[in-house]
Homo-oligomer: A and B are copies of this chain.
Amino acid sequence: MAGFHLPLYRTNLIRSSSSPAPSAYTKPTVVTQNLSYWNSIYSDIESHLKKVIPIRDPVSIFEPMHHLTFAPPRTTAPALCVAACEAVGGNREDAIVAASAIHLMHATIYTHDHLLLTDRVGREPESEIPHRFGTNIELLIADGIMPFGFELLAGSAGDNSEKILKVIVEITGAIGSQEMVAGEDGGVGRPAGLLHGCGAACGAIIGGGNVEEIDRLKRFGLYVGKIQGLLSEKSKNEGCEMELLETWRALALKELEYFDSRKVEQISSIVGV
């Protein structure tokens, strides 16, 4: 599977490893992505999450918790955490808890961003998304999923208290209200890309990267997040800002020039080289 060709516009929300359908509205940039590498990471993260969030009694709590954990479309932010850990020479298993925690943040954000609220005017009909549980349950259970992510992290610290606290600072910095963005219409939203930068930074911290490595991988992740955000918008709008995309891709790869190229071969494949 190594070197599997994947149109880049699909990399944001990969639901399975099946071949993407060709699209008529745009000529996709065909890129070489090491899909087997990324799929093995997703698989490891999902296995861990299934273990720590089983469906058990009381099912009225754990069934929605399990469902809301796995319902959101896949994001690469947790996978970047694992890849960044490996890029700085760390062990994959050390990064799985942090990657799982980042996925849980994504799950809470996704659930809350798609709650059926009456005052969400001008947005896509949320009713297009299947809502198996009521709004009240989705709200409260997702409220519990977020701290559960921090609980997993704090409980995993062992002799790595300082690393884990740095990871918590990274995660809270990416999802806290200080990071909310105010739209021109006076509305409030979440900025794109932050969770990807956070994922890469957390992996580098856990893998024992130095400050320079952490900073560079964080910026790499931020560009990945921006690229994927743009591609996601593109798939909706049919507009394509290829120039901007190429600029970000070049900036992302520039951050990796600092590293031994063999070490960052896998993580760089996320932007398709």
Contact = CB atoms under 8 A, between A and B. Distances in A.
A176 interface: yes
Interface of A: 58, 60-61, 64-65, 108-109, 112, 115-120, 134-137, 139-141, 143-148, 150-151, 153-155, 157, 161-162, 164-166, 168-169, 171-173, 175-182, 186-190
A114 B19 CA distance: 45
Contacts of A172: 147-148, 150-151, 154
16 contacts: A60-B186, A61-B180, A117-B135, A120-B136, A137-B188, A139-B139, A141-B177, A141-B180, A144-B176, A145-B177, A150-B172, A151-B168, A151-B176, A157-B162, A161-B165, A164-B165
Contacts of A135: 117-119
Contacts of A118: 116, 118, 135
| A-B interface, 6 closest residue pairs, ranked by CB to CB distance from nearest | A144-B177, A151-B172, A161-B161, A58-B182, A154-B168, A147-B172
Contacts of A171: 147
Given A165-B154, A168-B150, A178 B144 contact: yes
Given A143-B177, A144-B180, A172-B151, A136 B119 contact: yes
Given A60-B182, A117-B136, A169 B147 contact: no
Contacts of A188: 60-61, 64, 136-137, 140-141
Contacts of A64: 188
A72 to B, nearest CB: 15
Contacts of A175: 143-144, 147
A41 B216 CA distance: 43
Contacts of A139: 112, 115, 117, 139
A108 B137 CA distance: 16
Contacts of A136: 117, 119-120, 187-188
B148 A177 contact: yes
Nearest to A60: B182
A147 B180 CA distance: 12
A176 B148 contact: yes
Given A65-B177, A135-B119, A182-B61, A150 B150 contact: yes
Contacts of A60: 182, 186-188
A186 B61 CA distance: 9
Nearest to A143: B112
Contacts of A180: 61, 140-141, 144
